[in-house]
Amino acid sequence: MMPSPPEPSRHDYQNLREEMSGAVRSVCPGWLADQADDLVQVAMMRIHRRYDDRSLNRSFLYRVAHSVVVDEIRKQRRRNEVGMTPTTPERIASPQARSPERSAVGASLGGHIVTALQQLSDDRRRAVTLYLQGHSVPEASRLLGYSRKKTENLVYRGLADLRAGLRERGIEP
């Protein structure tokens, strides 16, 4: 017996997108406002993939919007903890961040990191690069097609190798 086709959606997606846009903008902090459209798109994809029309009410949309914004904030904080980029408030508050000397040091450090990354095995380099770009281990495992445990191991050992490579160049992480 053939499975029945999925029930067609009864929701007006243009209206849903407008409601989601309002929900995201209401929970989105000002420093993240320039990414609001991207966050709305992520929220819409999340809804489309996981939920049926019966669960799409106003409070549910706000919960999804809140979840998407919190995920983005966490991703940016992880990226900042690794030292990739300062947040907008940090750049505004810290005039040294814009100094030519700091830019030169940052470019030099970036070159050393790229060189050290190139010396890692392919699997470790890909896993560490995704991690340094702000992807969580589960996201990286999904992107790489590896198990979560294997990806966690690649990231952990790859970061250790990266630190060792930087120490060889006289850079203490």
pLDDT tens figures, 86-129: 544 444 445 555 566 666 666 667 777 888 888 889 999 899 88
- How far apart are alpha carbons 76 and 10 in whole angstroms? 36
Which one of 2.60.120.260, 3.40.109.10, 1.10.10.10, 1.10.1740.10 gives the CATH number of domain 99-168? 1.10.10.10
- How far apart are alpha carbons 41 and 91 in whole angstroms? 27
Q: What is the dihedral of CA 11, 14, 18, 23, to 10 degrees?
A: 40
Q: 27-53: per-residue pLDDT in tens? A: 887 777 788 888 888 888 888 776 666
pTM of the model: 0.45
Q: Would you kindly state where each structural domain of the chain is located, as residue ranges?
A: 13-81, 99-168
